[in-house]
Structure 1
């Protein structure tokens, strides 16, 4: 069945079938599993289990994030210009499966007996290679979004499925870890501190990541192959590539999303990294209770799966993203704010506490997921807006920034957690119930304002995004009617030229 663009009445791409949406979404199992594992459990594994100082772990992850910041736009640009019989995205997706899985296993199975300095270099090397390999898959995979559909609402649906399965991947890791792998033993009475469970996580997670990447690549290959190939271009110098990248990225709406995303994902990473510490040392929960709390993610994702597309259709993507960010931050901080007022403390039995934490975390997760879905769908809409101005299809470049935002979860988020723990003088290999109350209070007192500030500044930046439904449909009309493509001048290594008819009017 053919669809028409509301602004122009021109025919659009055929609507996507549910199978393609499903397999496209399932590919996010890999990214979700790695993001949650690196963002939530890497710090406590190396700090409390292996005995590496939190600042050392955070510093290694932060340096690997800087490599991401440089490599992501380069990889996105290369993907935008790749020509192959499989399309411009799929060669990268297939190539990423094995190295991504291997790096995940290596991260949770470090050499024994190494010094902290040696482990710093090990974490840095494996985290850097792991991020490069997952981005080799995630950037081209996410860049398929505007190529699979140019419909304003269908793009939201695509990103909803993608984030739903991302949450499922993270939930699977958490459920497996707390209910199966982190078993208390005589040597390790606190299950969260049992090293064997993390070693086994490395194996299971690697298998999940490998299968999810191949499944998504296979499931979207036919549609990706049908997407237009980039034009044949003469070889460009490194300087020409850099200038082209900078011209593409110099887009007000994109820069607003980039700033919002970096701060938002840093806040989410800080929340995820501190969740295990807060559950273990502040609320003094058992491993099974921690596992139950992990199920808030799947409920939140299920609710967001239905709420996000409908809310965006009624109120617009930016309004929903801002509203969801405000409400998510509020509910995420509520338990600790109540604790500071003496109204929310550990209890025995812990059942009522767990249920209350579960309810608040589910609401936080639903709004957080909705905000993430909107951000990615808004980046997809930047693609045509940029095409109208530059004549270049740069989905890979823009989604490279989206991947960098997500990396901030396990980069800036873990860095922030490490700094908070260091400033609070939180001890390594601490025993729950034996950490001084002053240390706990200091940790919580630093965490609350840090989270509030990250979310508040992020929301201010997002207010500068201006692409709504009408503007997007106008962009699509211009692209279709005027054939916005790189012309023959691009083949000679010159910048693309635009027809006056397609230049922006404002």
Structure 2
């Protein structure tokens, strides 16, 4: 079999653009879905939360099932592309109808529609996302080329989500969150962009199908055997390390995302225009990360590079808050303070994205490590596991942030001038402590990841020897 050692720019772009679909969906679900259905359409927030939890429960089953299915599918179009093409229309339609519910339905009457749509969106994206990200381990076995592939994936994920968010907030809503037509247009534009991203990814990688890995030999499968193979696969020590590290890292992300508005508006006293400037700065962060991650991975190796980047990033993020607590920053309302926070934000987010790129590439390298141990390639299962823990851990970060706000005595709807200096200080301490604790645990967990450049090459050598032995027949030994 011919190995695709280093995919060209066109392949990397196609694979990367596929990440925009997931970035757009995640941005909408994480930042706007609860607000749209509860504040605009009048669905009780508790029911919106229930719909999201039930959809997550479906994910708990669908992610590993689709991962295992795509690992073992036998078709002329290979293992992954039938799922990608099959999900093309459903992902776009489900996302469109999520933001365009039937006329006449309001309040609690919308709950069945919301529940149905969130489940359909989750399912459709599972059928696309899990097989398509699993391609990272098939398009190349090269240690550094995988980092480049995942760098493009995360870059377009951030770029796509951020672009659609800015389109909604700055143009479609026209300074009116109750503008229903703006929300409906957002659903249309976002679903078209999702459809195009999925189509580009599927078509752009289609020509590589003859060179992708074949499924394992046909065998008699039972429910017990299927789940036995899944459990044997995810028992890989490096996968367990990444799995728990991802959980801790995303708890930190949830804390940061939830408290971001409070920190910017209350702690720093920034205006909406200044906060918008911080948001736009993330574009520069994504570009920096796209350049930085491959360089770090090649220079230090992925594990060591991720730890180095993580230490710098997760020291930098709470640094302005800590310096303010120590009285070492310019006062609120000064241009110097805004420039400091803007620079820190741009570089810190760049480092966080670079860490995600390296960690995503590390998942791909587990495939050969597991294949040496089990005799099976299980790209789908590994990427499905990481995909699910991302969804599961979002709520944990939000819950932690809510506890910090409660301790600080900051409730929903409080104006900045109603918040005491003591509450603001407690908010800063909780924010910094929450981030540092979560990220420290994440770096401890990732230190247990066992695969290096050398061990990856050893795994490839063992697999090539095994393939050669099998091709020569049983008498070759």
Q: TM-score, normalised by structure 1?
A: 0.83
In 2, the alpha carbon distance for the partners of 1:291 and 1:253 equals: 39
Query: Aligned partners of 2:97 and 2:404: how far apart in 1?
Result: 27
After TM superposition, give the deviation of residue 90 of structure 1 in Å. Answer: 0.7
Aligned residue number for residue 328 of structure 1? 313
| 1-structure distance, mates of 2:47, 2:264 | 23
Closer/same/farther in 2, CA of residues 236 and 381 from structure 1, 3 Å limit: same
* Pair 1:458-2:442 in alignment: yes
More helix by share: 2
Change (3 A) 1:99 1:12: closer
- Hey, what's the Cα distance between the residues in 1 that align with 2:381 and 2:468? 18
What is the deviation of 1:135?
Answer: 1.8
Taking structure 1 as reference, are residues 398 and 267 closer, same or farther at Cα in structure 2, changes over 3 Å only?
Answer: same
CA, structure 1 residues 485+194, in 2 after alignment: closer, same or farther (shift >3 Å)? Answer: farther
State the match for 1:250 in structure 2.
235
Tell me if 1:233 matches 2:224.
Answer: no
Residues 1:218 and 2:188 aligned together = no
Q: 1:70 aligns with which of 54, 61, 71?
A: 61
The answer as to whether partners of 1:281 and 1:435 remain within 8 angstroms in 2 is no
Any conservation in 1 of the 2:216–2:377 contact (CA below 8 Å)? Answer: no
1:27 aligns with 2:11: no
1:297 deviation in Å? 2.1
Residue of 27, 44, 48 corresponding to 1:36:
27
Size of the alignment, in residue pairs? 472
Which deviates more from structure 2 when the two are superposed, residues 431-440 or residues 331-340?
431-440
In 1: Cα distance, 2:98 partner to 2:370 partner = 38
Alpha-carbon offset, residue 399 of structure 1: 0.9
**Displacement, 1:261?**
1.0
1:476 match? 460
Provide structure 2 residue ranges, at least 5 long, that are not aligned to the other structure: none
Q: Is the 8 A contact 1:100 1:209 kept in 2?
A: yes
After superposition, residues 33-182 of structure 1 pair within 5 angstroms as 33-46=24-37, 57-58=48-49, 60-109=51-100, 114-115=106-107, 123-182=114-173
Quick check: 2:330–2:336 contact (8 Å CA) kept in 1? no
Q: Please, which of 347, 352, 355 is the counterpart of residue 363 of structure 1?
A: 347
Whether contact under 8 Å (2:99, 2:183) holds in the other structure is: yes
Matches within 5 A, 1:381-400: 381-400=365-384
Q: Matched residues in 1 for 2:92 and 2:418: separation?
A: 36
Q: What are the Cα deviations for residues 264-309 of structure 1, in whole angstroms up to 9, with x where unaligned?
A: 1232233223334544555454544333222222211211212211
* Deviation of the 1:404 alpha carbon: 1.9
The 1-side partners of 2:131 and 2:196 are apart by 17
Cα distance in structure 1, aligned partners of 2:303 and 2:293:
12
What is the alpha-carbon distance in structure 2 between the residues aligned to residue 356 and residue 197 of structure 1? 34
Farther off after superposition, 46-55 or 162-171: 46-55
State the TM-score, normalized to the length of structure 2: 0.87
Identify if the C-alpha distance between structure 1 residues 397 and 121 changes in structure 2 by more than 3 Å, giving closer, same or farther.
same
Separation in structure 2 between the aligned mates of residue 40 and residue 433 of structure 1, nearest angstrom: 22
Please list, as runs of the form range in 1=range in 2, the aligned pairs for 1:226-375 lying within 5 A after superposition. Answer: 226-280=211-265, 282-283=267-268, 285-341=270-326, 347-348=332-333, 352-375=336-359
CA distance in 2, matches of 1:43, 1:215: 30
The 2-side partners of 1:34 and 1:475 are apart by: 36
Cα displacement (A) at 1:467: 0.5
The alpha-carbon distance between structure 1 residues 197 and 337, as it changes in their structure 2 partners (threshold 3 A), is farther
Unaligned runs of 5+ in 1: 1-9, 488-497, 502-506
1:449 aligned to 2:449? no
Q: Per-residue CA shift, 1:142-183, capped at 9, x if unaligned?
A: 111111001111111111111111121122123213332343
Q: State how far apart, in whole Å, the 2-side matches of 1:42 and 1:286 are.
A: 24
Task: Give me the whole-angstrom Cα distance separating, in 1, the residues matched to 2:328 and 2:38.
Answer: 31
Q: In the TM superposition, what is the alpha-carbon distance from 1:76 to its structure 2 partner?
A: 0.3
Distance 1:432 1:108 in 2: 30
Structure 1 residue 136: deviation in Å?
1.2
Over the residues paired in the alignment, what is the CA RMSD in angstroms? 3.3
Equivalent-residue separation in structure 2 for 1:57 and 1:201 (angstroms): 20
Shift of 1:263: 1.5
1:219–1:282 CA distance, 2 compared to 1 (3 A): same
Shift of 1:236: 1.3
Other structure's SS at 2:207 match: helix
